[in-house]
Each structure stands twice: as C-alpha cells, then as structure tokens.
C-alpha cells in the first residue's frame, strides 16, 4: 500500500508553511518551454513556467495519465497576461513515480500548494483537467480556498465516478498491468499501432479519426510510461475515493466549468454539479467535443478560458 506523505489537511496549520522544510527548491531562472525541478516530500517533481513572474500567477494541473504538455495551447494564449506554471504531478510526466507515495487527491493538492509556496506565490488562479480539475476543486473547496483567485475545471471530476468504459475496461487493465508487469509493457508497445490506440483511447475523443494521429502521440505514451503502472493504479483509486459534491458550496472563487458535450471519460453531469453547487460559477458546454476540449475544440475552448480570465 502507498504510504501517507504527511500532507493531510488536518496536519497543516493555517499560518505555517510546512513546505519550507519539506521542499528543497532548485533555484533557477524561469523561462518558457524549459523544465524545472523541485523536491517535494523527498521526491523529484518537474514543472515548466512561462510568462513574466511579475504577472498574476496561474497554475495548470493535468489529469490522470497525462502531463504538463496538455496545456501547450492554453499557455501560449495566456502567458502574456499570466505567469503560467504547469506541473507534472507526482507519478506522471517527468516527475518521480514512487510506488510508496501518497497519490490521494488531497496529497496532490498539497504538492501544488508547496510549489506555490516555494515560488513565493500567495494567491493564484487554477486550471485543472480531469483529475487535475478534481485536484483544483479540492484546493479551492477544502485545502486553502482563500488562496484561489479564479478556478477553471476542464472536464473535471467531481463525484469520483467515471464513464462505463473507463470504470469497467481501463481501470481493470491498469490493475492487471500492475499485477502482471509484462502485460503492461506489451500494451505500451501496442499503442503505437493506430487500431490499438483507437480502441484503447476512444473515451478521450468524440471523433478521434479527425485528429492527426501524430498530434497526440506523446499523450498516448504518457498514460503508459515505463514503470508507471503502480502510480497510475493508485491515482485511479484516489479519483474514486474523492467525492466533492458536498464540498462544492465552500468554493468562494469565481469558477468556470468547461465540458465537452460528448465526454466519454467524465460524466457531463459533473459539470452541472459545479454550475449548480458552486456559488459564483458557470458552465460552458462544447458540442462535438469529448474529454479534451483543448484538442477537439481549441478555438471555442480558448475563447471560453480567455473571456472568463478577463471578466
């Protein structure tokens, strides 16, 4: 079983920056398209930063099996107005993937707060996709609501329940891959074949065949990284364990939920929960769009993000 990291909310005193002793910050100059490294709770995490550090900060949090690159277009759109920090969560991307870490949603949220502390950031805006939306909502509802200026949840998980294909097929594949590593490695090799990828990742997109196959090559590879089956499994369990429905009314930040109307991964009803339960919130529903609005409807997605951030 994964160990607890010590990041639980109850142990965090409101006025004490516990990360000051847990994090060894690698001092570097920020620049666009450059990976930075930070140690949190004894593990290496990576992030990229773009924009002038004097601008209002915006933290971008990817989803389950993803990485910071999912935010490329978003950062290009916003980096002239915001200091954009896109993290690779522990267990994903180029960050460490320890088998004994705490992959709970709260622990991942605390790591985002630790990163903000080390960058000298008090208040910030948040945008999260899928599990990253669940993490962002958790920060804004449970961990440190007063620090969140604005919040965007893109296809964000609320109830912890996902669509049937993911629940019944994807999760079971990951559990089997954790138990039988050679099957996991075989799947990693097979996803380079178009027909395998189209079956494996069909919950992601509404019309997968309209997207150039090479455009999402890295996204396919990131979900099945070498040695990543354990962190992927426990992170999936963490999604299930966190139902935020009753906590949404505690969010005080202006909030935008963006969903693809044909999302095959997260129920669209989670977007309506955000709209109906968060006091200052709205929902933008994009037609002809699945779980990745930034890929399938990039112009409409960026327009919604830009208008909300400027409002």
| Every domain of the chain and the residues it spans | 9-162+236-310
pLDDT band per the 50, 70, 90 thresholds, residue 82: very high
Superfamily in which the 9-162+236-310 domain is placed by CATH? Alpha/Beta hydrolase fold, catalytic domain (3.40.50.1820)
Q: What are the b/e assignments for 96-109, b being 16+ CB within 10 Å?
A: bbbeebbbbbbbbb
pLDDT for residue 184 = 79
Measured between alpha carbons, how far is 155 from 68 in angstroms, rounded to an integer?
A: 16
Measured between alpha carbons, how far is 41 from 24 in angstroms, rounded to an integer?
A: 9
pLDDT for residue 24 = 29
Question: Per-residue pLDDT tens for 259-302?
Answer: 999 999 999 999 999 999 999 999 999 999 999 999 999 999 99
Measured between alpha carbons, how far is 96 from 71 in angstroms, rounded to an integer?
A: 20
Q: Does 1 have pLDDT greater than 50?
A: no
Tokens of 287: 């037609």
Q: Does 26 have pLDDT greater than 50?
A: no
pLDDT band per the 50, 70, 90 thresholds, residue 254: very high
Scanning the chain, the segments in alpha helix (DSSP H) are 19-22, 72-78, 105-118, 131-138, 164-165, 171-179, 181-190, 194-200, 217-223, 229-241, 269-277, 293-296, 298-310
**Mean pLDDT within 136-150:** 98
pLDDT for residue 224 = 73
Q: Give this prediction's pTM.
A: 0.86
Q: What percent of the chain has pLDDT over 90?
A: 65
Q: Does 22 have pLDDT greater than 60?
A: no
Give the 3-state secondary structure of residue 266: coil
**Closest among 211, 234, 231 to 222, alpha carbons compared:** 231
pLDDT band per the 50, 70, 90 thresholds, residue 2: very low
């Amino acid at each position: 079983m994964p160990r607890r990291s010590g990041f639980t909310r109850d142990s965090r005193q409101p006025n004490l920056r516990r990360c000051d002793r847990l994090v060894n910050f690698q001092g570097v100059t920020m620049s666009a398209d450059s990976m930075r490294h930070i140690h949190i709770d004894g593990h290496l995490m990576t992030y990229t930063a773009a924009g002038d550090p004097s601008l209002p900060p915006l933290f971008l949090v990817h989803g389950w099996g993803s990485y910071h690159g999912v935010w490329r277009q978003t950062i290009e759109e916003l980096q002239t107005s915001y200091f954009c920090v896109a993290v690779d969560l522990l267990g994903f991307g180029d960050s460490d993937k320890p088998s004994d870490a705490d992959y709970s949603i709260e622990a991942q949220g605390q790591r985002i707060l630790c990163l903000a502390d080390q960058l000298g950031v008090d208040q910030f805006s948040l945008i999260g996709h899928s599990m990253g939306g669940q993490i962002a909502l958790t920060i804004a509802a449970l961990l440190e609501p007063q620090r969140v200026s604005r919040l965007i949840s893109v296809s964000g998980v609320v109830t912890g329940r996902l669509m049937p294909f993911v629940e019944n097929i994807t999760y079971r594949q990951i559990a089997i891959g954790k138990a039988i590593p050679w099957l996991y490695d075989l799947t990693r090799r097979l996803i380079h074949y178009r027909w395998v990828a189209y079956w494996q990742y069909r919950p992601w997109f509404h019309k997968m065949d309209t997207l150039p196959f090479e455009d999402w090559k890295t996204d396919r590879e990131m979900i099945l990284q070498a040695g990543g089956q354990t962190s992927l499994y426990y992170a999936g369990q963490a999604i299930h364990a966190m139902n935020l429905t009753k906590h949404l009314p505690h969010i005080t930040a202006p909030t935008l939920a963006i969903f693809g109307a044909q999302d095959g991964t997260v129920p669209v009803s989670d977007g309506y929960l955000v709209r109906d339960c968060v006091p200052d919130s709205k929902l933008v529903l994009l037609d002809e769009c699945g779980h990745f609005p930034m890929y399938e409807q990039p112009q409409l997605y960026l327009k919604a993000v830009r208008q909300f951030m400027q409002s």
